[in-house]
Each structure stands twice: as C-alpha cells, then as structure tokens.
Amino acid sequence: MCGIVGAIADRDVVPVLIDGLKRLEYRGYDSAGIALVDGSDVRRVRRTGRVSEMEAAAQAEGVRASLGIGHTRWATHGGVTEANAHPHISHGVALVHNGIIENHEQQRERLQQLGYAFESQTDTEVIAHLIHHYLKGGQDLLGALQCTVKELHGAYALAVISRKEPGRMVVARMGCPLLIGLGEGENFVASDVSAIVQYTRRVIFLEEGDTAEISREGVRVFGADDAPVQREEHLSDVSLASLELGPYRHFMQKEIHEQPRAIADTLEAIIDASAFEPALFGKDTDEVLAGVEGVQILACGTSFYAGSVARYWIEAISGLPCSVEIASEYRYRKAVANPKQLIVTISQSGETLDTMEALKYARSLGHDKTLSICNVPESAIPRASRLVFYTRAGAEIGVASTKAFTTQLVGLFALAATLAKLHGRLDADKEGEYIEALRHLPGSIQHALNLEPQIALWAERFAPRDHALFLGRGVHYPIALEGALKLKEISYIHAEAYPAGELKHGPLALVDAAMPVVVIAPNDSLLEKVKSNMQEVRARGGELFVFTDADSNFNESEGVHVIRTPRHVGVLSPIVHTIPVQLLAYHTALSRGTDVDKPRNLAKAVTVE
C-alpha cells in the first residue's frame, strides 16, 4: 500500500525520490507526490495515477533540491484526488504518512477552532497542522514532531521537512515500518528497503515509538520517551537484481521461474544439517517448543492457504492438533486460549495488518509461544514473534504471491517434521527420507516449470471464459484454493475452489459446457475418489483440465485434458502441484491483457483493515 522515501544529500535528490517511488510501485497506490526544501521555500509536485506522470510534471517544473520526501498513496480517507495525495503541507512544513490516524476527526475539529483551514479529506493533514502548531509554540522541528505524535492514536510512519530547517529531516514510527539508510555524506529514509537499496545497504530499522533526526552528516534516534537511543545497524541482503525484471515480461513470471532457486536457498540450512533442528526457528526454540500441545495458524490470502496445507502435514506427521484461521476472523472472535498452543503467523510481507493484529490478540489472550514464517527480515510480524523462520525467496514484487507461497510451504513442512521429532514421532529413517525428498524438490519444481508451453495452450482456452471451478482433495484442496485465487486476482475470471467431495452438495449445479473444471489429482490415496468426482463433472457436460503426476495412469479422453508432472513426489506433492496453477493463472491473464503485476484494486502489502 502506501510508500515513503526521503533523502538528504549534496546532490539533487529528485531522481533519488522518483527512483525510490518507482521501486515502491509494486505495493499498490493510486497517487504520488514529492516535496522539496528549495532555498527558503517548500515545493511540491503531486499527481493521481502513475509515478511516471508525477515525474513528468516534476521535470516540466524543473524542480531540484538536496532535501526532499516522496510518497505513493493508496486511498483510504478521501478519494483519489490530487488534493488528497501526499505530501501535505502546513505553513512550510511538508510531510508524508503511512498508516491511519484514528483520532483525526477530533484533531481536525480542534485545529479548525485554532484557525487551521483544511485542503484535503485525509487523516494525514491534521499531522501537518499539529506540527506547525507546536513550531509556532516555540518547538524546533524534532520537538514539534515529538509533541505531535503523543497526540496521535493509530498507526504511522512519518517523514517531515520544513522550509525553516533545510539541513534536516525528522521521522517517526508507530505500527508501520520505517527505516533509515546510511550513506556517505547523504542519508535516506524509506518504508521499504527496496526504495533505497541502490544507494545504500546499511540500514537502521526504527522501533515502535521511535523518532529520529536525519542530516547529511548523521542520524540521531530517540525512543518513545524522547531520550536518545542506539539502534543496531544492519546490512540489507535485498539485491538490486531481485528488483529488476531482467529478461522476463512480468515480475510474476520471473518469480514463478525463480522458485527452484528460492526453494533451494530456503532449504539450505536443513540440507546442510541433514536434519530438522529446532534451531532452524531461532534462539528460544527449546523454551518455546517445549510442551507444545497444538498449533494455531493465523494468516491471510495465499499465506492462509499455505497454513491450510500445513494443517494436513502437522497433524499427519507430528500428531499434534492444528487449526488454521483467517487472521481477520480470529482477531474479532472470542477465542478460547490454550497457552500450550503454538501460534504460527504466516506472512510474506510481515506487515499485513490483520495478521499482526491477530498475533497481538493471541498474545493478549495469554499465548506466549509464537512463531512467524516470513519473507521480509526485520518486518513487524517476525519482530513481534519469539521464533522466526525466514523464507529466502528474495523480494517478491508481483502482487500475486508465488515464490513466497512455495517457500512458506517448505518452512511449514520443516516445522511439521521438527515438531514430530520433538514429540518422538520421527525416527531417523523417516527423517532421512524427508531430507532426501527436500533435496530433490528444486529439481522437481524445475520439471513442473518445463510444462509451461502446454499450460500456455490451456490458458488460451480459459481466457474467454467467465468462470472456472477448481477441485482438489485432502492436502491438495488448498492448492485448488490457491489456484482459484491466483486466477481471479490477476485474470479477473470468477473462480471458486471446492473439495472435490463437496461437488454434489451444491456446486455441481454450476457445471455445464461453459464451466472449465480444473482438478488437482496426483497419485495419492484419494486419487480413486477424485476420479469418481470427475465422472460426476463429465456426466454433466463439464470439461476437465487435470493436473496429475506420471504415476497416476490418467488418459486423455473427450472433454478430459491432462497435464502430468514428471513423477509423484510423495508428501511434498502440494508444492510441486502449485506450479501448474500459477502458470495457468499467469498465461490466462496474459491472454486477457490484464495488468499482471498490479491487478486492479489490490496492493502487495495490506497494511489497512
């Protein structure tokens, strides 16, 4: 969703801000803007639409400066208009804001009584006026920001500049990520490291309640009590190559093809140790995992489907009961807490608000055993969890999650096996068998990717359709759900997924010649059941598109199309069967000409409710 970048340097920072905003585009936004301290003035350029439109306007105006801030806005309070786009300005103070200010209406009324006029419908504008109010009262910029944030309820990452203080920028963080990039004689701020990684990899992650002052020469950070604090410097491992398209047409295509490498990287520690060691999940493992009696998984979207696969694995392999719940549902229900349950949150971004709030809610209920599976180091959700498994998928730019999902599955499989080992349910032979299967996984994924030309041909038949049905059973049912989500989110074809056994309890009524039915049907113990369900579809004139594996002995026949992955990979089969449904969605969207990487109405990191 919204993105922040800021810079203070000896050079012109306008290209730095525009490049940074372009790298934040993947998060989803509908307007963009920059503000610059230019001499004793603040200049601002804002546009609805793409960053490139704002860039053209900035070039036309010929703006240049050595201090500036930029923003991509995803509208929440107030429509998509230039007046609502950030930065917002109050008497020479300009700021950009990620997050939501919950008490903005009370603050607006108060500021109006103090004589402030409002130009936008946003919650953000109150912050600019409040800072000005405190500046007028005699505070300097940092002091004014520190006074202001104490009056805000809600979540914010803020970057602020003032025409009266051309030598510094001040920033604050609560509930939304914000980091400082350390350069040589120049410094940066960003909500996401990708915005500044081409200038520096040295970063400081601000903590909740921190404020900071950033000049060319250095950075000073203050804790929630305004006292100076030291925050550790990190070296980001986000690579520039992961942010570039290279030879691919879309980031989604690139990220689908990166899966063999992403999975190999994620597996590295397991393969090196040739064992499922509790240490895979962090330092406190012995204490947190000791006495675990069950697992509660919380997540949203694709991450929820990864959790849904994990439920089958955890119960079957470790024997522990496991529930999976959509984070936005869990956080608002009166859940019965069992402190011996392990709470597992799954999130690619580590920023998803509902997942974060579900974790906080679980903790408020007395859950102390928390583990996060996440792809973004130092993001909010892993920081709030006692144990962490970082997937090593690299930056995922396409809104449709692909390599994050399959690497999450790898982490979750390792969790199932580790819990089994700790509970005495994994003997050395079985452990060796699982490790061997994981060792071969990147190769099996590559074989599945080689099916792309056949899947692209199927996609041409899907492109003109309005609806599609996905079926699976057992551990492959969540893969059907994931396939339907991928298809709907990027091709805009209405797609639903059902456990194949449910067909005759309702959805069979939808089946006719116009409804393609995708079936995930590997050679497992449920295959014969799935075959019966497929007969039910054929008998109603439905056309079947079956993804199966070489061992399953499926033959094509009239109305039954079959694509086979080269071999059955046993317990890891859901991971391999994810690849064909990703490719089907991608090529269908391509045929329909949709904006594959930035589908309408969606954002990469969902940081609002």
Residues designated catalytic: 2, 604
State the minimum distance, in angstroms, from the CB of residue 255 to ligand M6R: 11
Q: Which residue is nearest to ligand M6R (CB)?
A: 301
Q: What are the b/e assignments for 17-47, b being 16+ CB within 10 Å?
A: bbbbbbbbbbbbbbbbbbbbbbeeebbbbbb
Q: Which of the ranges 255-263, 399-407, 411-419, 473-481 carries the binding residues for ligand M6R, by CB under 6 A?
A: 399-407
State the minimum distance, in angstroms, from the CB of residue 374 to ligand M6R: 8
CB 295 within 8 A of CB 322: yes
Q: Which is nearer to ligand M6R, 174 or 490 (CB)?
A: 490
Pick from 284, 267, 521, 200: which is nearest to 406 by CA? 267
Q: Which is nearer to ligand M6R, 33 or 175 (CB)?
A: 175
* 301 is an interface residue for ligand M6R by CB under 6 A: yes
Token code pair at residue 62: 């010929």
Q: Which of the ranges 52-60, 294-302, 512-520, 583-591 carries the binding residues for ligand M6R, by CB under 6 A?
A: 294-302
Any idea what DSSP says for residue 499? E
* 258 is an interface residue for ligand M6R by CB under 6 A: no
CB 280 within 8 A of CB 414: yes
Total residues interacting with ligand M6R, rule: CB under 6 A: 16
Task: Compute the half-sphere exposure of residue 97: CA atoms within 13 Å on the CB side of its CA.
Answer: 26
Q: Which of the ranges 59-67, 99-107, 135-143, 394-402 carries the binding residues for ligand M6R, by CB under 6 A?
A: 394-402
* 578 is an interface residue for ligand M6R by CB under 6 A: no
Q: Which of the ranges 84-92, 154-162, 254-262, 298-306 carries the binding residues for ligand M6R, by CB under 6 A?
A: 298-306
DSSP string, 392-445: ------SSS--HHHHHHHHHHHHHHHHHHHHTT---HHHHHHHHHHHHHHHHHH
Residues forming beta bridges with residue 495, ordered by sequence position:
468
Token code pair at residue 167: 């030598």
- The beta-strand segments (E) located in 431-551 are 467-472, 494-499, 516-520, 543-549
Q: Which is nearer to ligand M6R, 17 or 590 (CB)?
A: 590
* 391 is an interface residue for ligand M6R by CB under 6 A: no
Write each residue from 471 to 490 as x if it is in contact with ligand M6R (CB under 6 A), else as -, in one continuous string: --------------x---x-
- Cα 264 from Cα 266, distance rounded (Å): 5
Q: Which is nearer to ligand M6R, 186 or 396 (CB)?
A: 396
Write each residue from 342 to 361 as x if it is in contact with ligand M6R (CB under 6 A), else as -, in one continuous string: -----xxx--x--x------
Q: Which of 324, 400, 481, 590 is the binder for ligand M6R (CB under 6 A)?
A: 400
* 303 is an interface residue for ligand M6R by CB under 6 A: yes
CB 488 within 8 A of CB 399: no
How far is the CA of 362 from the CAs of 291, 331, 415, in angstroms?
18, 8, 20
* 259 is an interface residue for ligand M6R by CB under 6 A: no
- For binding to ligand M6R (CB under 6 A), which residues are involved? 300-303, 347-349, 352, 355, 399-401, 485, 489, 605-606
